[in-house]
Chains A and B, each alone.
Chain A
């Protein structure tokens, strides 16, 4: 490509930041349109007395609860799982726990290996170098040498502390004969470079005031901007226009005053997440693309995958200091990750040990703690507060035609742009898998000495992994983009977020989508139209 080409990225989150940085490293400037703004770390309320209340109201990861000025409506009445995301520089890495397991090699070949879902046109090995580049850019804690995964380089800092809970669960997994390993995370356990080590405060997904937990506003973006990348803030993209040849040539957006703007482009790069990206493409209707940009296959918005997650909580008689340390991960087991013909489902699940919550969320019975209001409230609070840990059972989701993201022109954002609609229900395989996972989690917690085990069969407020809505493939009839992330229909349109996932795996998607973005940047630089 010509280094003078105008590359317009839509979305300044995990993938958009990685892409802009990788381009800038190679002398290619880009302009990123971001619908939100920078978040001043001083605005993160974890130093305020009402920090937990903020977490469930105006600082909620659910945009429909938070209702920030950069959020857009997402109709979720027809979805069993609700959306979580952040709109601003950093995207959802502002409100994430930074748990960063990688996909496994089998995750890219699920149809070949197991006869379900859809194979990727690339393999784990194509992404492995980019996982490494991304780990170095984000800063990674953990322990290399896990025989449960392909090799990786030594991590930047040691794994986060296990705590009492980690110790109990690690020993229990060993006794059960289940392989376990401390989780990789984009959190520094000790100071590294110009960032401090974690102080184990707990609520990582509310944002990190000290920058020990990575988010791309403090990792990729400052470096990308220093090398020439440009960010335009409070720029809400409504649609993309095409020229007579069907190439994207203009991105239309609204500034914060509501004035419509247009920016010409040689390439458009979608990085607006698995809901935001199909929303913009479906809103980009033209004579050439009457069903939305890049959508001649009818696949834009289809194959929407989330991770159905069950929360199984153990209650111990003795205190286990539930509130200390990253609340979302500690260690994991992938013992049930792969297909086993003796089970009544294909593929598998991961179980990660999470911790407990602060006083308010505990008192409200978060994660199924079964704390009543009224009579018996305080007695139950005393039993559970500081005495619990939750095993999150993360199930692989398979793509189906009936789970999809669409738009609804009857409901619009403040600029009149149609809202996104989530249409999602658990498919049969995931239900069977989840039931199996719940029994495994119960067995694990019991082996770790939990006196009581509580089951939340589906965490509804857990729709943070938004995948599959413009999937990658070789056949343009059943996929939207090719292996280089370019749309089959529109060669100067790229999608680099988790929308391109052909399968969901059973792990958090961020390192994989960032590796894809880095690789796509390299491929774009190497090639041309």
Chain B
């Protein structure tokens, strides 16, 4: 990664994750070089892009324009970098703690604890059993089952009954 230096990575990361009054910008939580990026194999022509040099030292507005150029011209490279840097950021303990505080999303992976639903004051009421709503297929079995379901929509069916339905 001759030209994708830690300084370039930081400039890129702070452009795509600029932060605001509530959220930290990328460089406030991440360390550079980003470990994820050491595993990625970019083509030499990607590494030697002039665009990386232009990023460092540019104003935030200019960097936004430069990154948009990269997104337009080298979409897959841009998306790969975006996913890696976003992943590093959104799995960082500091950011996860903020997400938990702001959105009640637990600051941990989904397993092993799982998630707890907000208790509903009143669960939805199931549509009441009515005449069958499905379309008949013209077979004798269909007519028979449809009629039985219509007569007794709340009947609890047994496997033994259903086992007699097949025709072949």
A binds B: yes
Question: Which A positions have Cβ atoms within 8 angstroms of B?
Answer: 44, 46-53, 56-57, 104-106, 108-109, 112-113, 122-129, 132, 136, 143-145, 147-154, 161-164, 166-167, 170-171, 174, 179-182, 198-203, 209-210, 319, 321, 323-325, 338, 358-360, 363-364, 373-375, 377-379, 381-382, 385-386, 483
Q: A209-B112, A375-B18 are in contact. Are A338 and B135 (CB under 8 A)?
A: yes
A153 lies within 8 A of B127 (CB)? no
Q: A52-B87, A164-B120 are in contact. Are A150 and B134 (CB under 8 A)?
A: yes
**Cβ contact of A167, chosen from B16, B20, B120, B167, cutoff 8 A:** B120
What are the 6 A-B residue pairs with the smallest beta carbon separation, nearest first? A199-B114, A170-B124, A53-B87, A201-B110, A105-B137, A324-B115
**Cβ contact of A386, chosen from B17, B103, B156, B163, cutoff 8 A:** B103
A244 to chain B, nearest CB (A): 33
B134 lies within 8 A of A148 (CB)? yes
Which residues of the other chain, A, contact B134 by a CB distance below 8 angstroms? 104-106, 147-150
B160 to chain A, nearest CB (A): 10
Beyond the given A51-B110, A106-B137, A210-B111, please list 19 additional residue pairs across the A-B interface where CB-CB is below 8 A.
Answer: A52-B90, A53-B87, A56-B83, A104-B134, A106-B136, A113-B137, A123-B167, A126-B166, A129-B165, A148-B134, A150-B132, A151-B149, A200-B115, A200-B117, A210-B112, A319-B104, A323-B115, A358-B110, A363-B89
B115 lies within 8 A of A325 (CB)? yes
Question: Which B positions have Cβ atoms within 8 angstroms of A?
Answer: 15-20, 22-23, 36, 64, 67, 82-84, 86-87, 89-91, 95-96, 99, 102-105, 109-118, 120, 123-127, 129-139, 141-142, 145-146, 148-149, 153-159, 162-163, 165-168
DSSP majority for the B interface?
loop
A527 to chain B, nearest CB (A): 12
**Cβ contact of A105, chosen from B84, B125, B127, B135, cutoff 8 A:** B135
A416 to B129, CA, bound (A): 57
Which residues of the other chain, A, contact B17 by a CB distance below 8 angstroms? 373, 377-378
12 pairs of residues in contact across A and B, judged by CB atoms under 8 Å: A49-B91, A124-B137, A124-B142, A125-B139, A129-B165, A167-B120, A199-B111, A321-B104, A321-B115, A321-B118, A338-B135, A364-B82
DSSP majority for the A interface?
loop
Q: A128-B162, A338-B135, A374-B16 are in contact. Are A167 and B124 (CB under 8 A)?
A: yes
A35 to chain B, nearest CB (A): 26
Which residues of the other chain, A, contact B123 by a CB distance below 8 angstroms? 162, 167
Most chain A CB within 10 A, of B23, B36, B115, B124, is at B124
